[in-house]
Structure 1
C-alpha cells in the first residue's frame, strides 16, 4: 500500500485543505489490501486526497459509508459528486461490500482493476487471474510514468517485486512483509518479542531486539537488492527504473543499494491509468 501506515483512518498532512473540483470526472478509488484499505479521490487524473482504513473495520456498505462520508465531507466533497468507483482488491471477502456500497450510495457500479490482454501492457505470465490487481495498477503506473522498463517493489503485508521489460510484464517475486515476518516469529516462538521496525545500526545484533531487526529488516532488504541485481543480470541490462511504494518502503530505502525512488501514490495512480484505458477501449 502506498501511504505510511497508521491506526484506523487518516488523511495525509498536506491534504487538510478543502478540495476544489474543476469540472473533471470525479473518481473514488479503493486499494484494498490484506491489512489496510486506501481510499483516494481523483479528478483530472490527479490524486486530490487519500485516506487509510484498517481493512477489517467495515463489513457492510453502511459501515463503510459512516467511515468514509465524514472524511469526504470535511474536505467539502459529497458522494453525490463521485461519478466513477474504481477498486483494486486482493481481499475477495470485501468485494461484495464494495458492490453493495456502490449500488446504494454511488451513481455507477464498480470498475474492477484486473489484468487484460486489451491493455497496452502485455502480460507474459501463466495466468492473468492469479495476478493481484494492486500489482496490475503498479505496473500500469510505472509504464505510464517511467516507460517500458521498470522494477516495482511494493512494501505491504507481502512485498511484491514486479518486472516490466520492453513493455511486457514478465512476472516477479513475493516475499513476506516486515510486519508479517515479525508477527510470524512472535506467534510461533515462546520467547521472541515484538519489536519496533527500525533499520539496524550494524549487521551484528547485540541483543534480541537488534538480532530480529538484522534478520528481518536488513535481511529482507539484502534479499530484495540481490533479486534486483539478478533481474538486471537476467535481462542483460540495468537500464530499468526501480520504483518503490508502500508504507514500509522508506524504511527499506535506508539501507538499499537500489531503492532510491519512492512514490506513495503509485497504486492509486495506476488505478487512474486503468480507468482511462478502459474508458477509451
Structure 2
C-alpha cells in the first residue's frame, strides 16, 4: 500500500492506495503543536478502525505547505511506519516544467494538483483549490505550469470579519436562500458565499482570456475543502475533484519510483 499525505494550513488529508485504487481517505485538523508521537498514535487509531496495518504500507509520500510540521511528520513516519517518506520539493521528479519566476516559490500542493489535473484532463487547464487560501493555477496545452493567482480563503475572510468588528458574529459557512437578507447572520453568509463565487468567476474569466494562445480551455477543475460550497454555481467550473491532490501524489510517487528503478 502507498500512504499519501497532503499537509495544508487547516487540514491534513491522507489516503491509502492499493495500486491505483484509493482504499480510504481521511481529513484531520492541522495542529502544529502535536508531537510526532501524537500524530503517530492518531494515525494508528485511524488505521486500526479500518483494519489496516502499518506493516502493509510499502511507501509514503508527503506534500506540505507547513514547513514547521515537516520534521514532526518525518519523524512520525520513520518511527511508526518504518520508511523514509518521499517529500515533494527540489529534486523530486514531477514531470512538469514550472514557468514561474522562481519555481521554488510554488506551493507543493499547487504542483501536485497541476500534475494530477493535466494527467486526468489534459490542457490547457485551470485548477481552483478552495483551501485556507484559494489558489488558481493555469496549465498549458503541453503540460507546463504557467502560474496563477492566490486569494484569501472564505474561512479566513469570515474569521477576519468576526475578529475585526465589534458586533458581527461568527457564522456557519453555508449558502443562504437569497442575497437580500433580513438578518445579520444570513447577510454575512450572502456576502461571503455569493461574493466569493463572483471573485472566483471573475479571475477564471481573466485567466481564460490570457490562455487563448494555448487554445480553448475545456476543463476548469475545483478541488479542496470548500469546493462543493463555492464551485457548484460557478459559470465556468465544470468539474469538482476533491481527491485531486491525493491523485497527484500517487502519480508523482510512481514517476519517481520508476525513474529510480532504471
Same fold (TM over 0.5): yes
Matching residue of 1:97? 72
2-structure distance, mates of 1:117, 1:48: 25
Give distance in 2, aligned partners of 1:37 and 1:58. 14
- Mapping of residues 1-281 of structure 1, within 5 Å: 26-56=1-31, 59-114=34-89, 118-166=93-141, 167-236=143-212, 237-281=215-259
| Structure-2-length-normalised TM-score | 0.92
Partner of 1:201, secondary structure, is coil
CA-CA distance at 1:115 after TM superposition = 6.3
Count of residue correspondences: 256
Residue 89 of structure 1 contacts residue 133 of structure 1 at CA under 8 Å; is this kept in 2? yes
3-state DSSP of counterpart to 1:171: strand
Distance in 1 between residues matched to 2:92 and 2:56, nearest whole Å: 32
CA distance in 2, matches of 1:111, 1:94: 15
* TM-superposition CA deviations, 1:240-274 (whole Å, max 9, x none): 31111112111113421112311111100000011
Residue segments in structure 2 that go unaligned for 5+ positions in a row: none
Deviation per residue, 1:198-241 (Å, 9 max, x gap): 22333333332232223221111111111111111112244231
> 2:32, 2:101 → 1: CA distance?
34
Would the aligned equivalents of 2:113 and 2:127 in 1 still touch at CA under 8 Å?
yes
CA contact (8 A) 1:200 1:218 kept: no
Distance 1:123 1:233, change over 3 A: same
Change (3 A) 1:77 1:142: same
Conserved? CA contact 1:157–1:180, under 8 Å? yes
Cα distance in 2, alignment partners of residues 118 and 65 from structure 1 = 28
Query: In structure 2, do the counterparts of structure 1 residues 168 and 56 end up closer, same or farther at CA, with 3 Å as the change threshold?
Result: same
Q: CA RMSD in A?
A: 1.7
CA contact (8 A) 2:124 2:216 kept: no
- Whole-Å separation in 2 of the counterparts to 1:77 and 1:118: 29
**Aligned mates of 2:188, 2:75 — CA distance in 1:** 43
Distance 1:57 1:116 in 2: 26
